[in-house]
Amino acid sequence: MDARLNLFANPVAAKVGKHLVSAGKVLADSTLPSATQELVKLRVSQINGCGFCTDMHTKDALHAGETQTRLNLVAAWREATVFTDAERAALELAEEGTRVADAAGGVTDEVWANAAKHYDEDQLGALVSAIALINAFNRINVMVRMPAGDYQPGQFA
């Protein structure tokens, strides 16, 4: 399977991609725990059906030391006992922030307040930005049908 558009060869898409990657580097340097960032990226990618990003963030998380058990349970985090309360709050915010079209009013006050109990303002800024950024990457990759399965950790470093 080939992508509909080569995002790296297309001058406009490649330029946009570089800016998105730069935004990701800002988030990587933030105080939001990297494990939380990877869990959120994985969950949002699952919701959006982005195989490429699901593959990438599963492999990146494993490479960074995340356990296979936790990664296997991200899609069922509500029933899983392997996530901290802070991670659960981040995953809940990620789900509501991704599914804004599915719920009138978007993210509820309760979900926001729960996240705010666990993260300071800078971390909340990073979390909100991470959710928005992975949604952008997902939508690009889904639209062009980016094939999944061949990603290697650090491939785009």
> pTM for the full model?
0.95
* 116 vs 123: CA distance, rounded Å: 9
Residue 112 has which token pair? 């926001």
99: phi then psi, degrees, rounded to nearest 5: -100, 35
Instruction: Walk along the chain (157 residues) and give the pLDDT tens digit of each residue.
Output: 799 999 999 999 999 999 999 999 999 999 999 999 999 999 999 999 999 999 999 999 999 999 999 999 999 999 999 999 999 999 999 999 999 988 777 899 999 999 999 999 999 999 999 999 999 999 999 999 999 999 999 888 7
Which residues have C-beta within 8 Å of that of residue 43, sequence separation ≥ 6?
Answer: 74, 75, 77, 91, 94, 95
Domains of the chain: 31-144 (1.20.1290.10)
Q: Check residue 35 and give its pLDDT.
A: 96
Q: Where are the alpha helices (DSSP H) in the chain?
A: 11-28, 34-48, 51-63, 68-72, 85-98, 109-118, 121-144
Judge whether 40 and 49 are in contact, CB under 8 Å: no
Q: How many CB atoms lie within 10 A of CB 78?
A: 11
Judge whether 89 and 97 are in contact, CB under 8 Å: no
